Amino acid sequence: MAQVWRGTDEVLRRAIAVKILHQHLAADETFVTRFRHEAIAVARLSHPAIVAVYDTCSDNGIEAIVMELVRGQTLRQRLDQGPIDPWVAANIAAQVAGALAVAHAAGLVHRDIKPANILLSEDGRVKVSDFGIAKAAESADLTQEGSFLGTAKYLAPEQVEAKPVDGRTDLYSLGVVLYEMLCGRVPFEADTSSSTALARLHNDPPRPRLIKPGIPRELEAITMRLLARDPADRFPSATDVRAALLSAGADDRPPTTDEVTVAAPVPPTTATPAGRPATAPPGTWHTPPGGTSPPRFAESERRWLVPTLLVVLVAVALGVAGLLLQGSGDGLFGDDQDGDGTSDETDEPTGELATIVGTIDFDPQGDGSEHPDEARNGYAFDGDPGTSWSSERYNSPEWGGLKDGVGLIVELDEPGPVRGLEIDTGVSGWEAEVYVADEAHSALDGWGEPVAELTGAGGTASVEGLDAEGGAVLIWFTRAGSGNLVRVDEVRIAR
């Protein structure tokens, strides 16, 4: 749909990408009007995995978009070079799902998710480009008889039948991309674009493990659900897709500098003793399940959720730590200055609160999901008593006999001492264990032994005097409370 040029922003002195639309698009006034409208909407999106749109230009019949310059290659180019490790494929898909979740929440449906629109930057990040262009084209009479808007290989059935589309349409296309990464081929391909597009209306694709037996079963299940012909049978949202991939073992965090080496792709058999390729193409990072490091849960929003930390004087920090360690009995987070026998918001805090940067729902023995949106949005630590994270409602306090428990992972800004924990909740009768680890783990046995136990009588429950250190805290609820659920209105961690 366009030519892309490298340019320079002469005001900010930064390298940019300038996408100049082909003349037949620029000449269509309906398209240009819709294109400008969509570009403005996309420019408001903010997510690490979305290519930023800076501006639009119109000059003497030329229409262009000014965009972030991403140095690297497209996923299409990467796929043309050879196979992709299944867990690298899952990592890429999880980042794309995160980008789609933000776009869908803003009312934008991409409509043309395909490997050519997924960029793998040199630093290992994944970027989705061209939001809004397909919708603008759809509103104009730009197609010819017998042709399909978008790339036929990646169209959802409802697009082929010209039915209404929504976020689940993008999820189908993401399923095709994930299928191709896992299997080395798309699920449907025929002699013509029309035949390729129509094939998915009446047939289910062959299961990935029939093509490549080594594909993990959990990734196969996620892929096949994404490729359901009926949108109602797919995942409800991109957030749910991302949660399922993370629960399966994917990791959508950007790699650290010691986890990525920008180089030409190497045969997948070349590996270091740690199980990681000796050199890896852009988009390859983190040891997959089966390596020496367990898969880790993390939110890609971590980068923009982390608040700016205030500099604390060493003397003050030591004094605060001393108060925490004394165990004076005046309360974990405040002295009982008003004499009511409790430490509450009317009392002055005596301990240093750890900075919480994210929470993750934890359901390793179930379907992997316990209200992930509430956890991802930080409802358990946003300071608003009207928001909370809660579990699903079960048939009995023993989680309906289905599992040993459910949990909430609390991620801290950095590893450090954990001296205590406090939970505000209106639910009583629950029981929980507290675990502390350097980082979040996807299985309970990765957390080691519990460092404390908690019971809830409603109101505030706390435990103090802990001697633990780490960057993640797991509250593992072994028994549900009133209503056969648990709820965390606010959680606080003491250093």
- Are 34 and 94 part of one and the same domain? no
Range of the domain at 466: 306-494
Per-residue pLDDT reduced to its tens digit, 156-174: 888 888 888 899 999 999 9
pLDDT at 134: 58
| Nearest CA among 175, 172, 135 for reference residue 156 | 172
Q: Is 309 exposed, middle or buried (0-12, 13-18, 19+ CB in 10 A)?
A: exposed
- Are 353 and 482 part of one and the same domain? yes
Q: How far apart are CA 7 and CA 19, in angstroms?
A: 10
Q: Indicate whether 435 belongs to any domain.
A: yes
Q: Rounded to the nearest 5°, which phi and psi values hold at 58?
A: -135, 115
> Could you give the residue ranges of the DSSP H alpha helices within 111-166?
133-139, 157-160
- Are 53 and 172 part of one and the same domain? no
- Are 328 and 387 part of one and the same domain? yes
Question: Between these two residues, 228 and 256, which has the higher pLDDT value?
Answer: 228
CATH of the domain at 442: 2.60.120.260
CA distances from residue 234 to 18, 50, 151, 189 in whole angstroms, order as listed? 36, 23, 21, 22
Q: Indicate whether 17 belongs to any domain.
A: yes
- Are 111 and 217 part of one and the same domain? yes
Mean pLDDT over the full length of the chain: 77
- Are 321 and 239 part of one and the same domain? no
The identity of residue 181, as a single letter, is M
Q: In the chain, how long is the greatest CA-to-CA distance? A: 81
- Are 23 and 87 part of one and the same domain? no
What's the average model confidence in pLDDT over 197-224? 84
CA distances from residue 434 to 130, 454, 457 in whole angstroms, order as listed? 44, 8, 17
Which tokens is 104 given? 């869908």
- Are 53 and 89 part of one and the same domain? no
Q: Per the structure, how many domains does the chain have?
A: 3
pLDDT at 126 > cutoff 80: yes
What's the average model confidence in pLDDT over 46-62? 87
Q: How far apart are CA 400 and CA 306, in angstroms?
A: 37
Question: Between these two residues, 270 and 445, which has the higher pLDDT value?
Answer: 445
pLDDT at 28 > cutoff 90: no
195: confidence class by pLDDT, cuts 50, 70, 90 = low
Q: Is 406 helix (H, G, I), strand (E, B) or coil?
A: strand
| Nearest CA among 404, 382, 423, 421 for reference residue 476 | 404
In 10-61, which ranges are E strands? 14-21, 53-59
138: confidence class by pLDDT, cuts 50, 70, 90 = low
Q: Indicate whether 420 belongs to any domain.
A: yes
* Helices 167-183, 217-226: crossing angle, 10 deg rounding: 140
145: confidence class by pLDDT, cuts 50, 70, 90 = very low
DSSP class of 10: T
- Are 7 and 80 part of one and the same domain? no
Q: Is 469 exposed, middle or buried (0-12, 13-18, 19+ CB in 10 A)?
A: middle
CATH of the domain at 32: 3.30.200.20
Q: Rounded to the nearest 5°, which phi and psi values hold at 93?
A: -60, -35
Contact assessment for residue 129 and residue 135, using Cβ atoms and an 8 Å cutoff: no
pLDDT at 293 > cutoff 60: no
Per-residue pLDDT reduced to its tens digit, 327-382: 333 445 554 444 443 444 444 444 589 999 889 999 988 878 898 888 888 899 98
Among the three residues 68, 91, 114, which one is the final residue of a domain in this structure? 68
Among the three residues 33, 68, 103, which one is the final residue of a domain in this structure? 68
Q: Indicate whether 278 belongs to any domain.
A: no
Q: How far apart are CA 330 and CA 340, in angstroms?
A: 11
| Nearest CA among 495, 411, 420, 491 for reference residue 451 | 420
CATH of the domain at 208: 1.10.510.10
Annotated catalytic residue within 28, 112, 251, 424? 112
Count Cβ atoms below 10 Å from residue 367 Cβ, excluding itself.
Answer: 12
- Are 109 and 173 part of one and the same domain? yes
pLDDT at 108: 86
- Are 362 and 461 part of one and the same domain? yes
Q: How far apart are CA 95 and CA 80, in angstroms?
A: 21
Q: How far apart are CA 420 and CA 431, in angstroms?
A: 17
Q: What is the number of H-type helices and E-type strands within the chain? A: 14, 13
- Are 64 and 174 part of one and the same domain? no
Q: How far apart are CA 336 and CA 348, in angstroms?
A: 8
Q: Indicate whether 100 belongs to any domain.
A: yes
What's the average model confidence in pLDDT over 387-414? 90
Which tokens is 133 given? 């262009």
Q: Is 39 helix (H, G, I), strand (E, B) or coil?
A: helix
DSSP class of 231: G
| Nearest CA among 223, 281, 282 for reference residue 248 | 223
SS3 content of the chain, % helix, strand, coil (to 5): 30, 25, 45
Q: Is 80 a catalytic residue?
A: no
Q: Indicate whether 234 belongs to any domain.
A: yes
What's the average model confidence in pLDDT over 66-89? 92
Which tokens is 157 given? 């059935």
Q: Indicate whether 295 belongs to any domain.
A: no
Q: How far apart are CA 150 and CA 171, in angstroms?
A: 15
Give the predicted TM-score (pTM) of the model: 0.52
Among the three residues 232, 248, 264, which one is the final residue of a domain in this structure? 248
Q: How far apart are CA 199 and CA 221, in angstroms?
A: 21
The radius of gyration of the chain's CA atoms, rounded to the nearest angstrom, is: 25
Contact assessment for residue 345 and residue 459, using Cβ atoms and an 8 Å cutoff: no
Q: Indicate whether 259 belongs to any domain.
A: no
